[in-house]
Amino acid sequence: MKGKKNWKVVVVMTAVLLSLTSAQVFASVAPSVSSKAAPEVVGAATFTDADGNPITIEPGDIKITSDAAEGTLSPEEKAVYDEAKAQFTNPDSQYTKDLEDYITANFPGIDADKVVVREIFDIKVAQELSFDKGQKLELTLGGNYKPGDSVIVTVFNKDTGKWDFIESTDVKVNADGTITVKFPHLCPVAILVADTTATTATTTVDTTKKNSAPPAVSGQAGGNSSSMLIPALGLGAVILAVVFVALKKKKSV
């Protein structure tokens, strides 16, 4: 009877420790994009129509909805937003595969597991814009970017259900910390930055497996939750090993 009580105590303690370990993993992404305000529109935007004529759009006619305010979107807009955002948390999504390919082509030498999400937001413009003939909206957004940052801008395409990667030549990091982007269409937008100071999330030599994890959603480059996941799982394994040894000793006695 006493052995059964001891076994129950061990199980409860193990469960508590494992739950604390999980809490640490989730706490590591606390300063996430969900707590950030929407980026500011800096100056007027320029839209080039199908005839090549520039149209000026004032900042007041552009509405950016931050991730924190996604609840204010219409039901239709939120459905698209949720579908887009869900792809960040799925390591098997097409987004993850496309991100690897994009980084390989545009930022050789940077690992996909060192890329973090800096911003996620939705953009709406007061007037109707048509992008069906390759038109682009040039927009400058406030931020804390630095010249030399590897900035990746992606726009969700609700027609294809995929994220489109904006050409690196259409993304410019300005000296004042803003970025100027030429958008090929508007929908949910995600801005990612390569954190070259982050520790690689896994020690495997298999590059494909190493880069299969989706980018961490973080308010600052460097809040990589995957870098916390491996130590947490390791701690869980140690706990289970200790429990196993304790039970074997108990049995032998």
In 3D space, the residue among 128, 124, 151, 144 whose CA is nearest the CA of residue 59 turns out to be 124
> C-alpha angle 197/199/204, rounded to 5°?
140
> C-alpha angle 87/63/121, rounded to 5°?
20
Residue that the structure tokens 């004032």 belong to: 58
**Tens digit of each residue's pLDDT (9 = 90 or more) over 122-181:** 999 998 898 988 899 999 999 899 988 999 999 999 999 999 999 999 999 999 999 999
Burial of 15 (0-12, 13-18, 19+ CB in 10 A): exposed
* Exposure class string for 141-177: b at 16+ Cβ within 10 A, else e: bebebeeebbbbbbbbbbeeebbbbbeeeebbbeeee
CA distance linking residue 77 with residue 122, whole number of Å: 9
Average pLDDT over residues 100-128: 88
Higher pLDDT, 175 or 15: 175
**Tens digit of each residue's pLDDT (9 = 90 or more) over 132-143:** 888 999 999 998
Give domain limits for the chain.
1-28+225-253, 30-223
Please give the structure tokens belonging to residue 216.
Answer: 């961490």
C-beta pairs of 18-21 under 8 Å, 24+ apart in sequence: 18/236, 18/239, 21/232, 21/235, 21/236, 21/239
pTM, two decimals, is: 0.67
Strands 62-66 and 179-183 turn out to be unpaired
Residue that the structure tokens 């939705």 belong to: 122
Q: How confident is the model at residue 210 (pLDDT cuts 50, 70, 90)?
A: very low
pLDDT at 35: 78
137-141, strands of its sheet edge to edge:
54-57, 45-48, 137-141, 179-183, 171-173
